[in-house]
Amino acid sequence: MAPIRVLTALDHARTQYYHFKAIIIAGMGLFTDSYDLFCIVPVMKIIGRVYYPSPAGDGRPGVTPPAVVSATVGVALLGAVVGNLLFGALGDRVGRRRVYGPCLLLLVCSSIGSGFSICRTRGCVLSSLCFFRFILGVGVGGDYPLSATIMSEFANKRTRGAFIAAVFSMQGFGILASSGVTMVVAAAFDRFTGHPDPLDTPEAADLAWRVILMAGAVPAGLTFYWRMAMPETARFTALVQRDVLKATSDMGCVLTDLDLNAISEGEDAAAMPRTPAPFGYAPAAQYGLFSRGFLREHGRDLFGCAATWFLLDIPYYSSTLFQSQIYRPWFKPASHQNVFQEAYNVARFQAIIAVASTIPGYFAAVLLIDRTGRRRLQMAGFFLMAAFLFALAGPYDHYWRGNAKNAWYIVLYALTFFSANLGPNTTTFILPAELFPARFRSTCHGISAAAGKVGALVGSVGFLWASQSRDRGDVQAGYEPGIGMMYALIILGAISLLGLVVTYFFTPETMRRSLEENESERDQNQDSDGGMCFQELTLTPKSPGSLVSSHVSTSPIHPHRFSV
């Protein structure tokens, strides 16, 4: 039986312009995601000065209470969980493309709403900010399964990992952009207001944080048109909607080096029933999501993807929020900086970490993912994260606490981010987009990502409180005594080792295999070349427009490249 040759052609297609265009279109959502999630740290510094001023004569600047910071961070992560599940499911039921634009529009509107926050009294501003941050989180969560699935279904199998990793690497540039915008805005307002005294918070500061948040809408808005203009992926159209001719036509519009004329002729011959049959589909028996068949075929993979993502995000997000403990000794006390200088220094430290470790880690992942493999890279990343966390934890109370300005302290801290982005932070994004059948791919990615965001919630809220000193005199204002930084780091290192163990036992290798080979569904036979067979399809007649357009191609003819 003839395979669906357009999918085989996609697996073997050479890298061309549209692949890079798709990376930018899909990656800009991740860029916006990280901008919005990471700019909140300096923004909360400004909000603390504006809405929580210290009593007169206290000699200390205002500080946002820890409970408010936790709530602001937590609602965005809860929204991301909802977005992961909602848009992941919609991507498989409605189509990747049809919900891709609305997801980005949600990011744009919620970013603008976060900046306006509709009022200026403290209670109203914070309630409004949390509401829009939740909506923002829904958009952020929805972008994960859609971007990963779309890129995996457009890519060829030789460089698919690098393409998806390149999409995910846009997060690093989003962090850098959030830091850059914050630094520019803070410096501009500082100069405009005449460099106010440290304890004098000008009214303009209430505008500065709003500008920073609303700027996140710009990159997303610039790519909205291109998302709406993207065609549906061939795998969704052919395998879920069962319209092979339209899938062939759509790919002919964007990938110009496919032999679509030859492919279309093969598709027509294969799709025609050999004996008269009533019009309609006659699909092979298929199992539903979370049925016994699904759990038998894919339950192990789903557990592996969700568990490793959950375990990764606990130390990853914890380390992100521990930055305040890292950079504090390097800058003047808050009482010696005005509101804009404090926000500027926080953003500058974030930019340094992004340039020195986060972005290089992403680049290393792009270079190695299709050479080393997902499984090995994920295991190596977890192991290195554990090693560096233990190196920070072991001598923390006896040495690092009093030597926080030691350069090696910053180096070890930065290497935890490099290791995470080299390994599990990238691979946990890639693997769910490669392991599951087309009709479950987006949903399963959303479930895995939701598990990760639950881990992020545990790390960013739970460990932020748990890491406080056991001595009440050393606890930051507003916090309660915890287990101490040393024990928190030890636990995070142990969690990283557990991630390595789960990867070893539950994560398969997907490198250089077609998505159809990775599915391994019993109701889908494969030929010797790994192409999907047509036994599931006895096609209904297509519209005349579909039949005509499927034979129209502007592509060069390369019949030798995709013969099967």
Question: Is pLDDT at 368 greater than 60 in this prediction?
Answer: yes
pLDDT above 90 as % of the chain: 49
How much is the mean pLDDT over the chain? 82
> pLDDT grade, residue 7 (50/70/90)?
confident
The reported pLDDT for the residue numbered 174 is 94
Would 265 be classed as within a structural domain? no
Evaluate whether 218 touches 107 at the Cβ level (below 8 Å): no
Distance CA 535, CA 165 (A): 34
Both structure tokens of 110: 């919620």
Distance CA 294, CA 437 (A): 10
Picking from 414, 412, 416, 388, the residue whose alpha carbon sits closest to that of residue 490 is 388
Distance CA 420, CA 424 (A): 6
Would 340 be classed as within a structural domain? yes
Would 250 be classed as within a structural domain? no
Question: Is pLDDT at 305 greater than 70 in this prediction?
Answer: yes
The domain that holds 317 is classified in CATH as: 1.20.1250.20
Evaluate whether 339 touches 195 at the Cβ level (below 8 Å): no
Residue type, position 410, single letter? I
The reported pLDDT for the residue numbered 496 is 96
Rounded average pLDDT over 364-385: 96
Would 561 be classed as within a structural domain? no
Question: Is pLDDT at 479 greater than 80 in this prediction?
Answer: no
The reported pLDDT for the residue numbered 402 is 58
Question: Is pLDDT at 560 greater than 60 in this prediction?
Answer: no
Both structure tokens of 410: 């910053």
For residue 385, what are the domain limits? 5-238+297-516
The reported pLDDT for the residue numbered 110 is 93
SS3 of 410-434: the string is HHHHHHHHHHHHHCHHHHHHHCHHH
Question: Is pLDDT at 523 greater than 60 in this prediction?
Answer: no
User: In Å, how far are 91, 138, 345, 549 from 76, measured between CA atoms?
Assistant: 21, 8, 24, 44
Picking from 139, 117, 113, 114, the residue whose alpha carbon sits closest to that of residue 28 is 139
Question: Is pLDDT at 535 greater than 50 in this prediction?
Answer: no
Q: Cβ contacts of residue 71 below 8 Å, gap of 6+?
A: 130
Question: Is pLDDT at 449 greater than 60 in this prediction?
Answer: yes
The reported pLDDT for the residue numbered 478 is 63
Would 462 be classed as within a structural domain? yes
pLDDT above 70 as % of the chain: 81
Rounded average pLDDT over 411-431: 93
> pLDDT grade, residue 116 (50/70/90)?
confident
User: In Å, how far are 245, 277, 372 from 271, measured between CA atoms?
Assistant: 9, 12, 39
Strands (E), 47-96: none
Would 133 be classed as within a structural domain? yes
Tell me the pLDDT tens digit for each residue of 125-181: 999 999 999 999 999 999 999 999 999 999 988 999 999 999 999 999 999 999 999
Instruction: Give the SS3 label for residue 4.
Output: coil
Rounded average pLDDT over 506-512: 92
Picking from 454, 315, 449, the residue whose alpha carbon sits closest to that of residue 381 is 315
Would 119 be classed as within a structural domain? yes
Distance CA 445, CA 85 (A): 9
The reported pLDDT for the residue numbered 198 is 87
Distance CA 4, CA 438 (A): 14
- Give the number of other CB atoms < 10 A from CB of residue 336: 12
pTM of the model: 0.86
Would 273 be classed as within a structural domain? no
Picking from 209, 264, 267, the residue whose alpha carbon sits closest to that of residue 64 is 209
Q: How many domains does the structure of the chain reveal?
A: 1
Question: Is pLDDT at 280 greater than 70 in this prediction?
Answer: no
Please report where in the chains the tokens 């004996």 appear, as a residue: 275
Instruction: Give the SS3 label for residue 534.
Output: helix
**What is the DSSP code (8-state) at residue 3?**
B
Residue 61: exposure state from Cβ atoms within 10 A (0-12, 13-18, ≥19): buried
